């Protein structure tokens, strides 16, 4: 490694350390709260009780890390969650328009939209181009910080393990999702990486916001796609039969 490279590496390390220090200062209260919650977890054996609670309003659930205290939302908070989920649904439509699985995501900080994205793995030949990843990248670029402390990510479908890992890295405060993903969901369905006790950051999970709308968007898409595949197969068969006659 030449001097120039080594200088730039040490400069970037210093920048990283600075960020880390700033984060510690910014969220010292948060870090303390987490360690308190961890202590609570030992006492309350969260493996037997994951702390998920049904709310009075509908099927919306909140799952705080290592906590099983009764939590409720105000109607204003529920409206906020619905508002941003509706926005995420419009982003899912954009994915569908280009033939991608309709999943949309947006990042909100202090009531303001700071990033948004939708699925583009096929279009971009990029297996990492999930809605959450694109939304968080846009948000981090917008606020010029690789940490999104205090931010909330809204996504129409439960995050996968890749996105959940990235959300922990980004130190996102809360994830709000619509439909559950029984096959790959990493926010409680298959595993819960967002609140894994071995990781150094746990994220509050709110599930079930506009769950039906989010689920229908996906099931309608897959139904349509199956129909198209079936029609294409039928057409091919007819064509082959025509040729053989």
Residues 24-83 that bind Zn ion (CB under 5 A): none
**Binding segment toward Zn ion, per CB under 5 A, in 6-14, 82-90, 155-163, 216-224:** 155-163
Of the candidates 225, 210, 227, 221, the residue with the CA atom closest to the CA atom of residue 102: 221
Q: Which is closer to Zn ion, CB of 160 or CB of 211? A: 160
172 binds Zn ion (CB under 5 A): no
Interface with Zn ion: number of residues (CB under 5 A): 4
**Binding segment toward Zn ion, per CB under 5 A, in 27-35, 124-132, 174-182, 214-222:** 124-132
Binds Zn ion by CB under 5 A, chosen from 136, 151, 163, 179: 163
Torsion, CA 25, CA 80, CA 172, CA 203, rounded to 10: 100
130 binds Zn ion (CB under 5 A): yes
Smallest distance, Zn ion to C-beta of residue 101, A: 11
Q: Which is closer to Zn ion, CB of 64 or CB of 130? A: 130
**Binding segment toward Zn ion, per CB under 5 A, in 32-40, 52-60, 130-138, 210-218:** 130-138
112 is catalytic: no
Torsion, CA 95, CA 84, CA 56, CA 206, rounded to 10: 70
**Binding segment toward Zn ion, per CB under 5 A, in 61-69, 134-142, 143-151, 161-169:** 161-169
Catalytic residue among 132, 228, 239, 240: 132
CB-closest chain residue to Zn ion: 163
Q: Which is closer to Zn ion, CB of 86 or CB of 165? A: 165
160 binds Zn ion (CB under 5 A): yes
Which residues are identified as catalytic? 132
Residues in contact with Zn ion by CB under 5 A are: 130, 160, 162-163
């Amino acid at each position: 490694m030449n001097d120039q490279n080594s200088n730039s590496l040490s400069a970037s390390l210093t920048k990283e350390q600075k960020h880390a220090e700033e984060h510690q200062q910014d969220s010292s209260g948060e870090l303390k709260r987490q360690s308190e919650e961890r202590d609570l977890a030992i006492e309350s054996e969260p493996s037997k009780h994951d702390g998920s609670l049904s709310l009075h309003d509908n099927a919306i659930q909140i799952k705080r890390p290592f906590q099983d205290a009764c939590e409720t939302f105000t109607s204003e908070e529920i409206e906020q969650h619905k508002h941003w989920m509706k926005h995420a649904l419009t982003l899912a439509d954009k994915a569908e328009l280009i033939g991608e699985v309709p999943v949309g995501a947006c990042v909100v900080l202090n009531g303001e939209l700071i990033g948004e994205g939708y699925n583009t793995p096929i279009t971009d030949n990029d297996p990492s181009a999930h809605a959450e990843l694109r939304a968080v990248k846009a948000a981090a670029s917008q606020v010029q910080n690789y940490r999104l402390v205090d931010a909330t990510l809204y996504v129409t479908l439960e995050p996968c393990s890749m996105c959940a890992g990235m959300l922990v890295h980004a130190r996102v405060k809360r994830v709000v999702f619509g439909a559950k993903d029984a096959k790959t969901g990493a926010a409680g369905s298959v595993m819960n990486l967002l609140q894994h006790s071995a990781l150094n950051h746990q994220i509050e999970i709110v599930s079930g916001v506009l769950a039906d709308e989010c689920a229908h968007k996906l099931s309608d898409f897959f139904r349509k796609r199956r129909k198209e595949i079936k029609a294409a197969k039928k057409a091919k068969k007819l064509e082959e039969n025509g040729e053989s006659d």
